[in-house]
Every structure is written in C-alpha cells, then in structure tokens.
Structure 1
C-alpha cells in the first residue's frame, strides 16, 4: 500500500475507533436482524409488539451473529494476510488472498472444499468456534466457492446472481487507510466477483466500500458520503443501483422534512426488501440517513438499526449495512455498551478489528 502524501491520510487514534465501531456496528445490526431475518413485518410485530424488535433485551443472550459477520471478518483476515506479507516486503495478490480466506470460511460451514480448490494452513480466525455455525449463508456465496474456481469479472461465477452476499461483507474494503477511493472501488468489485457475477452485485459492493472509505477522515459527513455514493452509482452503468440509491436519499429527505415517522411499508414500496445487493445497500443507507436528526450518536445508531431491522425482507443484511455506516461515521461513541456485550462474537470481532489496525496504523503505545 502506497503511503504517499497525495493519498488520503488518517488520524491513527480516530482510525482505530472507526475501524472497531464499523465492524462492531455491523455485527450488532446483523445479530439483531438475524433474529427476524425470515419474518414478515406482521410476524415481527406479532412476536415483539407494535414497535417491533428494537433492543437486545427482547432476545435471549448472547445473540448470535450470522454469515454476514462471518464473511466480513474473513474479508478482514484476507486483507490482514496481504498486509502482513507487504509489511515483510513480500507482494501478495489481494483478491487471491480474499479467495483463500473465503474458502476457509466455506469449511466453517461444514463444506468440504472441492478437489480443484487450493487449501492452505489454518489461520487464527479459523480456530474461533463462535464462527463455526451455519446461519443461513447465501446460496450464491456457497455455490460460487464450491466451483473451486476463482471468480473474476472477466470469468464470472454465478453470472446472473446479484444477491446481497457481496454488500454485506464489503465494509472492510473501505477501512483501508492511505488508499485512493478508486482503488478501494476496484478491490471491492474484484472481491465481489469471487462469488457473484451480476454487475449490480459487483458495483453495489464497490459503492458501499467507497462510502465507508469516504467516512473515515475526520470531518466527513454522512450527507457528503451519500451524495458521492449516488454519483458513483450513476457512473457504474447499473441503472437499478443508481435508481435505488437516488430513491433512498429522496425518501430519507422526505421523512426528515415531514411530520410523519419513517414507515416500513413505505420503505419496502420504494426500496424493496433487501435480498438483492442494490436493495440491501439502499435500505441500509436510507436507515442511516432517515435517522440522522437524532440527538446523539447512540440514538442515531439505535434508530438506524431499528429502521433497518423492522421490515419484510433481509433484516440482518440491511441492518448490518446500516450498522457499518453509522459505526464508521462516529466511531466507538455510537455503540451502546450493553448492545456490544449482548452478541456472541464480540471478542472475535474486536480481535479482528485490532488485527487490521495492527497491520495498518499500529496499536496505541
């Protein structure tokens, strides 16, 4: 990674806070949403009351994370390996390292690697039993890896799939410091192509990663990052992605300007249910924007996650995206401590965040 003065610079202390909050925030949204991932809005309200699921106190503790957090952490581990090699003066292909990381994740799901797939020695993350649970992993993620072939944009696997399995794992691409946004975009699209081939899956992941990257510097704003995301979506050549993000910004602006409360029914009508990549990104971004008038970072985080969880659709992926966004926006002050303590993978998420910090800006001394 080139540490040129012309590339984005970061404040190390703020960066550490934002990395931890982005990864933990995504895990919190994932865990709360996973409890109702396959429930309708009526079903959620039937289980938890008219207000829906709004707090971990409504669930048994510890609340489990799903494949969204698992694959996010394996994305982190792929980059940690690349940077460990780089810090030792050895070049490594980042997309190949990600592929090997995802193949190791595949084994945690109880799958035997196909005969034509490369294997490699286990790394620290592979020994974390809390990640060895099969929690409704995305079909395209499994089938793409089970080909034993490394998918690329030129040679796609699952060429027609645009499921949200690319978006939900892609926040770590945006957490690379000292890297230009267009490089982040390329890395993320290439990483998405390992399992999905549809342009919307690739570019939705890349726009999301670039949005996270835009929120890393001190003084960055959610409105500015969202506007840049819409511009990137418009330039992507994927009409449905641009349309969904434009609709997300417009709906959030209407909700903040009007006297009505955000509506799950209206969100579904305008943005969809979150099963596809562009819908998951749009709902997560909408939830962050529509709740941006909250009085404190923690209130913003709680409201965004609640919006992203309570709807017909893929609640864990949409809430994971919202949690990544609001987490990186504020850093650790956004996260309610009692929520952080409520998830089963807290320690593993924190340790993987620290591993990424360690190979980028280093731990505090």
Structure 2
C-alpha cells in the first residue's frame, strides 16, 4: 500500500468513526419505535442534533483521539530510544488528559512529566462533556491503572471497544500483538474479560484490514487468537451470532429484529457484534452500514462509531459521503489525528524531529 492509499484508509477509519458517532449521538437513548415515529421509516439518515445540519461527536471519539495521542507519543519514544513497551502507561496518561478535559481535577500524583504538553490537550473544542461513560470516568478518577491481572472493576461496558481502533492501525504489523495491546489498553478502565477481549478482537481486525485483508478473513484471524484467551466464550458467541445473522440475511437488508437478537450494544461484546454484523453486510457501502448500525434500541453512537471505524477503513475516506465529512464539527482535529496515525512518527533513532516532539512528546 502506497502512502496515499494508507492516508486515505487511515483517515477513513478515524473520520468514519467520528461520523458514525455523530450520527448516532442524538438517538442513543431512544427506542427504535420512537426513532421511526420521529424520523420516518428509515430512521436517522443524516445529522439531526443541531438545527444547522451539523453533527457533533461524543466521548467515544474524544477517547479514541486520546488513545491515538497516547500511542503516537509512545511510538515517538520508541523510535528515539530504540525500545518500546511503554504504550499502555503512556496511553493511560493520555486518558487522564481526556479526564482533565471533562472538568475533573486530575490529582498531581498521577500526572506524568509533560502532562499538559502536546497539541491535543490544547484543543478547547474537546473541553466539553458529551455523555461520557461512568465506568471510564470513575476508573480514571480512582488514581489506579487497571490491568488484566489486577482489574480495576468488573465492567464490560462498550467504552473499551469504541476507542480502540488506533491500536490496530499502529500495530498492524502483527495481529497478535495488536490483540494483546488492545486488551491491555481496554483493561485500563474495564476489568471484565468480555470487555477487554472485545477491545483486543477489534484491534486485531483493524490491524488486518489496514494491510488489505478482507473483513471475513480479518474476523476469522481475530477469533483464532481470541479462543486462546481464558473467558473468551461470551465474546466468541456474540461475534459468531453476528456472522450467522449475516448469512441468514444475505439477500436482504439487516432489520431491527436481527440487531435485537444480538442485544442493544451497551456492553462491549454486543456493541462489537452489532457493528460487525452491519459492516459484514454492507462492507463497501459506508452510508448503509452506518445508518443500519445506529437505528436500533440501544447505544447508537457507539455502534455507529465502531461500524464507521471498520467500514471507513475498508472503503477509505474518499467514499464517505461528502456532506457528512463537511458538516462534522471539529473535523480538523479528527483529520489531523488520522493523518498522523498514517505517518506514525517523523522522528527516528538517527533523526530527531523537533516539531513532532512538541506535538507528541515521548512521555
């Protein structure tokens, strides 16, 4: 894949997720019956939150942006020092920066050197609450970083999986490593195996998609890794159910009834499975995939975000509807993160880039 194709795909992934998030945001807590009664038989087909036709992303995309920032800072550190391994701790610090933008006082003892450095923390557009998940807020306020071996709680909310796509983009050289890193970063805030394993599975799928594998193959590869982890059964069952429903509906559109069989998406394995169902069914039709993924009972913005990440990566940003891209609020921030993920790092062990260091200091 040449650099132009890579940039297009990575932008599609990050921008697509933000668009799906913004489309689903205003109907997140509404019943399907109410959505249909208010917006017509097809449900929401465009941005409806603001009167000027603009769409605004939520905490799902905010946290994804800070995931990307943490990974890029860690990658910069690894390039300069010639050693890696700090990405979980550095991403945890980025999540604390996100917590700061949510109006929570981050205790000095958990702040790292350079906590307020870098470009993302200075973006005032992110300093607003967009229905952040209680688990993420409370876990980060605890002053402890959760791990797989020392879980911070027993939550499997979808806050693990809606933020993890950048992990797959950064670690796309090895799906097994992408899975493991997705698990570790998810476990920072969510301690239930179905929560962090869903994050790992999506990271693996994103890694494979980013090197050109098709979605069915990417899912199969990820499931083989998943089955080697303890307590994988719940995630495996939901994703298998999504694949079976895709086959059952192969010659017709996915219905609300099909999505309801999986669940509502409030928990990680359901959100991932709903998103995979919509992405499998409309893998080259971004609009159809995302609108199907948001119009249901449940966590519409999270399923929209995850579906947008997946299908946006498959089709690239050039095949995302222009109207949705142009009317996304704060799209410049999202696009800059997408571009920078495609770059990875401008510094190397032999060549230090001062501007990149100021943007993504390696700590």
**Among candidates 208, 215, 219, match of residue 222 of structure 1:** 215
1:129 and 2:124 are equivalent in the alignment: yes
Counterparts of 1:204-353 in structure 2, within 5 Å, are 204-218=198-212, 220-236=213-229, 237-257=231-251, 260-268=252-260, 270-292=261-283, 297=284, 300-353=285-338
Distance 1:240 1:306 in 2: 26
Give the structure 1 partner of residue 353 of structure 2: none
Partner of 2:72: 80
Is the 2:169–2:210 Cα contact (8 Å) retained in structure 1? yes
CA distance in 2, matches of 1:38, 1:242: 27
Rounded to whole Å, the distance in 1 between the matches of 2:94 and 2:170 is 17
RMSD: 1.8
Q: Do the aligned residues in 1 keep the contact of 2:170 with 2:344 (CA within 8 Å)?
A: no
User: What are the equivalent positions in structure 2 for 1:42-121 lying under 5 Å apart?
Assistant: 42-56=33-47, 60=51, 61-89=53-81, 91=83, 93-114=86-107, 116-119=109-112, 120-121=115-116
The number of aligned residues is 342
Unaligned runs of 5+ in 1: 1-9
Say whether residues 1:202 and 2:196 are aligned partners: yes
* Secondary structure of 1:100 counterpart: helix
Distance in 2, matches of 1:177 and 1:276, equals: 25
Kept in 1, the 8 Å contact 2:19–2:308? The answer is: yes
Contact 1:284 1:318 in 2 (8 A): yes
**Shift of residue 115, structure 1, vs aligned partner:** 5.2
Alpha-carbon separation, structure 1, partners of 2:3 and 2:61 = 24
Contact 1:252 1:286 in 2 (8 A): yes
TM superposition shift of 1:330 = 1.9
User: The residue matched to 1:35 in structure 2 has which SS?
Assistant: helix
Deviation string for 1:162-213 (max 9, x for gaps)?
Answer: 0000000000001015631111111111101110100011100000010011
Would the alpha carbon gap of residues 306 and 178 (structure 1) be closer, same or farther in structure 2, given more than 3 Å must change? closer
Shift of 1:72: 0.3
How far apart, CA to CA, are the structure 1 residues paired with 2:276 and 2:59?
Answer: 20
Between the aligned partners of 2:265 and 2:111, the Cα distance in structure 1 is 33
